[in-house]
Amino acid sequence: MKNNYLILFIPLISGIMFSQELNLSPDLLIEQNAIAKNSNNSIFNRVTCDTAIETIRDDFESYVAGAGEDMPTCWTSAGSFVAAGVRNSDGNAYSGSNYVLGYTLFTANGFGYFITPNLSTINNLYQGQFYVRGAGSDGSAINFEYGTMSDNSDVSTFVSFGSPQVTNPEEYELYTTPVGPNNSGEYFALRFEIETWHTAIYLDDFEWIPIDTD
């Protein structure tokens, strides 16, 4: 029994020391404390929604926000994010006070996903537009892809489209996808390549809207 406690204790202490060496931002220190207190923190779905919608225009301001809160209604997260949901730490939103955060803690060498509600318009008439910033523990930019999924609980259904993208580690940038593919996908997803511990991805002001035909 003593050995079991030792195995659990060492990573916790190591994590605290590692956080101090990295000088993590206050919002990520809050995330670490919430993860330590909440054994159910890996459950990110706020509501499961089956009815497909046509458009999304969401600044995330209508949700309860804070460490331990879930993803926006009908959104999901998957993969390497140890914590993901609506947050409101000062200065981290692109607009307003709320944003979506995905945080990896000690997870690396994988992919983290933000997945929209079910869409009826994954065709060649709609596209996504949103603001993202993100960085690894060493301040590096994060590579990511646009894609569709036919099952929001199965990341193997992710199908990439458009060109690979790179985050700005310092500030939000506006990203506009190519026109969405006309495939069997039911969800739009962002897939982030996670290479270092303490990777944090921020998403705000997300839209899935008809293409501008003017």
pLDDT, one tens digit per residue, over 41-88 is 444 555 668 899 999 999 999 999 998 899 999 999 999 999 999 999
pLDDT at 152: 92
pLDDT at 159: 97
Which SS3 state, helix, strand or coil, does residue 11 take?
A: helix
Non-local (6+) Cβ contacts of 126 within 8 A are 54, 55, 119, 179, 180, 208, 209, 210, 211
CATH code linked to domain 26-210: 2.60.120.200
pLDDT, one tens digit per residue, over 154-205 is 999 999 999 999 999 999 999 999 998 988 889 999 999 999 999 999 999 9
What residue spans define the domains of the chain? 26-210
